[in-house]
Structure 1
Amino acid sequence: MTGHHPHTDEGTDAPAPESAYAAALGPAAENTAVTRLQTALRHDGEYPRASLEREFRLRRAALADRLALHTRDEHDATEAARTAYELLAFDLADGRFVLGPAGPDSPTWQASARPYVRQEYERWAQLTDGGRDAMMREPGDR
């Protein structure tokens, strides 16, 4: 990719949205998964809280990014940028869950954190089949 596009945040070595979100659930199913994660964060669960919070932040940021790419609405782009920077800040504070080659402290993300979301989501989706393995577990399963 070359250059920086203000609406798609292209211009990094991060994966293109088509690649990053290839294994993603549909928007409605992903929204349901994000809501379930948010609810789980309010209760003690089977997962270490930090990993659950990281998954929530990643999936929420990816969903916002996908919506912004689809609508090209400025409000949606602002929300995508906000949630992307929240993920980046979380990973700067606790880098245990970073999956991609460029860490959250990389200067690559100074122009935009949305490509960071794509990098992290693509790798996470490869490891979890787009979150499908988590959806197949019953509450209480490990």
Structure 2
Amino acid sequence: MTHYPAFNAPCANDAYDGAPDLDQEAEEVARLVKELDGPHRPEYYGPVTTAERREVILRLAAVHDRRWWRSRTEADGQLAESAAFALQQFDRLHPEEVAGPIGPDSIEWDAPGGTRAYVRSEYWTWRNVPPGCGPCDPHDPCEWHQR
């Protein structure tokens, strides 16, 4: 696996491999953002959970990061950085929701491009690791970690 920056964070190709089409995902995330709060949220959904809010913030940050990788424009880069920073800030306030192996306060994310590398690490984990699967006992790994 290729890494970026110089620690165990997936590169964009690895993080977004198998991800939904960017334009379709952007539309879906825009719909989810509308549903989070206010009149667009169906009543039968109940109150927004922290996990729901985090998923939308993560997916939005990933959409912006993917857009930058496609366009390489300064405007998309700024949006990607801003969305990545928002995810890191959210995760600092809700550490129980962090899925990846390196938390949002780690110094690894302070490197140039680190906030967006954090998004890729969290997105890859969200898409590939079963919910609730954390570090395992090396002598008794869970089914997923045995692969």
TM-score after normalising by structure 1 = 0.78
Structure 2 unaligned regions, length at least 5: 131-147
Match of 1:137 in 2: none
1:15 aligns with 2:17: no
Structure 1 unaligned regions, length at least 5: 3-8, 129-142
**What secondary structure sits across from 1:105 in the alignment?**
coil
Report the CA distance shift for 1:102/1:66 in structure 2 as closer, same or farther (over 3 A).
Answer: same
Structure 2 letter corresponding to 1:102: I
Match of 2:135 in 1: none
**CA distance in structure 2 between the partners assigned to 1:66 and 1:30 by the alignment:** 10
Aligned residue among 105, 123, 126 for 1:124:
126
**What secondary structure sits across from 1:10 in the alignment?**
coil
**CA distance in structure 1 between the partners assigned to 2:124 and 2:47 by the alignment:** 22
Bigger radius of gyration: 2
Report the CA distance shift for 1:106/1:35 in structure 2 as closer, same or farther (over 3 A).
Answer: same
Match of 2:133 in 1: none
Kindly report structure 1 stretches of 4+ aligned residues shifted beyond 4 Å: none
Q: What's the offset of the Cα at 1:70?
A: 1.1
RMSD of the alignment, in Å? 1.9
1:73 aligns with 2:79: no
Q: What's the offset of the Cα at 1:46?
A: 4.8
Sequence identity of aligned pairs in percent? Answer: 34
Structure 2 letter corresponding to 1:58: L
Match of 1:25 in 2: 20
Structure 1 letter corresponding to 2:83: T
**What secondary structure sits across from 1:125 in the alignment?**
helix
Correspondence list, 1:76-87, <5 A: 76-87=76-87
Q: What's the offset of the Cα at 1:127?
A: 4.3
